[in-house]
């Protein structure tokens, strides 16, 4: 077995790191901490290669150049998640930051992950949960204490019925034949974002040595939004206008970059932050439901136990 190399750099993992908010975060973090090893986890190796060259060419530090590495990761496949985690466990001595940024939205009914989970909950929550659990040893080994930054959304406030956990992990409304007026697909997205908030808080409770927070980026004009169906795109932009307007990925990434780079004392374990760095106090009933958080943790452990 190859001996792990000594690591003196900050080690950072960004899921969904090849485009949108993830790519913007990688650029900003590389500028703030040029002496870093940044893993861009995702499915698009060509986009990763382009971004890596861009970041390295743009580095302004005369002394340090960030090391950017592409890490294949498909959050809809739990074997892929485990393979990515095993690569890190074999390559690194610690992990300073896990930025759980990747996510999907507004996928039509019937879509599932390879494990059979409804695709929003499976991608946005279950895949990330497995990755986090497998990498806890590296996070605990970080010299200054590792941190997990989970990217949620203001949409979690609309999951008024919590996170439904059924035997098939379908979520509320997954069996509907008609996605009437976008309601079901956006509600499933909201439920998955509520799961991010609840799981981050439970992680903070169960592993207090690892800082775990969730952050809202605001309404961001990403390629994912541009690629949505017309009604979903217009609805998203309308909600963004109500909340103060859509922002670019560079602006949207500021909150998660702040959470990934601010001093440890600047974060309250388990908290939710809105742009930029403001703790959200009024979260709504389900987001404050400790029992729901416990049930979600227990259900998630059962769903991923085969891969731990």
Q: For residue 133, give the CATH number of its domain.
A: 3.40.50.720
Q: Does the structure show a pLDDT above 90 at 65? A: no
With left for phi above 0 and alpha for psi between -120 and 50, is residue 162 left, alpha or beta? left
Q: Is residue 26 in a domain?
A: yes
To the nearest whole percent, how much of the chain has pLDDT over 90? 66
Domain count, the chain: 1
Cα–Cα dist 121/132, whole Å: 15
Q: Is residue 173 in a domain?
A: yes
Asked if 287 and 194 count as a contact pair (C-beta separation under 8 A), the reply is yes
Cα–Cα dist 29/207, whole Å: 25
| pLDDT at residue 160, rounded to an integer | 86
| pLDDT at residue 172, rounded to an integer | 42
Q: Is residue 232 in a domain?
A: no
- Active-site positions read 189
Structure tokens of 139?
A: 């996070």
Q: Is residue 231 in a domain?
A: no
Tokens 């609840």 appear where?
198
Q: Is residue 229 in a domain?
A: no
Q: Is residue 211 in a domain?
A: yes
Q: Is residue 189 in a domain?
A: yes
Asked if 143 and 276 count as a contact pair (C-beta separation under 8 A), the reply is no
Q: Is residue 269 in a domain?
A: yes
- Of 38-42, 45-49, 156-160, 231-235, least confident by mean pLDDT is 231-235
- What residues make up the domain containing 24? 10-221+248-301
Global pTM reads 0.89
| pLDDT at residue 233, rounded to an integer | 54
Average pLDDT over residues 182-190: 78
Q: Does the structure show a pLDDT above 50 at 18? A: yes
Cα–Cα dist 139/133, whole Å: 10
Number of C-beta neighbours around residue 102 at 10 A: 26
Report helix, strand or coil for 10: strand
Asked if 191 and 164 count as a contact pair (C-beta separation under 8 A), the reply is yes
Structure tokens of 180?
A: 């009437």
């Amino acid at each position: 077995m190859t001996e792990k190399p000594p690591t003196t750099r900050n080690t950072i993992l960004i899921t969904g790191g090849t485009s949108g908010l993830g790519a913007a975060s990688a650029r900003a973090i590389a500028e703030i901490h040029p002496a870093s090893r940044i893993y861009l986890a995702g499915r698009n190796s060509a986009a990763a290669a382009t971004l890596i060259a861009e970041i390295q060419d743009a580095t302004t530090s005369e002394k340090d150049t960030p090391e950017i590495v592409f890490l294949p990761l498909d959050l809809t496949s739990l074997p892929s998640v485990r393979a990515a985690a095993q690569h890190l466990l074999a390559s690194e001595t610690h992990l300073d930051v896990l930025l759980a940024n990747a996510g999907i939205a507004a996928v039509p009914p019937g879509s599932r992950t390879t494990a059979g989970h409804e695709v929003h909950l499976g991608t946005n929550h279950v895949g990330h949960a497995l990755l986090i659990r497998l990498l806890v040893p590296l996070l605990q080994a970080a010299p200054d204490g590792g941190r997990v930054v989970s990217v949620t959304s203001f949409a979690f406030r609309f999951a008024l019925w919590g996170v439904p956990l059924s035997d098939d992990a379908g979520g509320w409304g997954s069996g509907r034949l008609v996605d009437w007026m976008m309601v079901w697909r956006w509600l499933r997205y909201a439920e998955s974002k509520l799961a991010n908030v609840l799981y981050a808080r439970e992680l903070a409770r169960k592993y207090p040595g690892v800082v775990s927070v969730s952050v809202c980026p605001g309404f961001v004009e990403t390629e994912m939004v541009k690629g949505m169906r017309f009604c979903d795109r217009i609805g998203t932009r309308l909600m963004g206008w109500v909340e103060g307007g859509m922002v670019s990925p560079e602006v949207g990434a500021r909150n998660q970059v702040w959470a990934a780079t601010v001093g440890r004392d600047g974060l309250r374990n388990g908290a939710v932050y809105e742009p930029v760095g403001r703790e959200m106090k009024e979260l709504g009933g389900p987001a404050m439901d400790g029992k729901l958080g416990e049930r979600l943790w227990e259900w998630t452990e059962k769903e991923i136990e085969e891969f731990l």
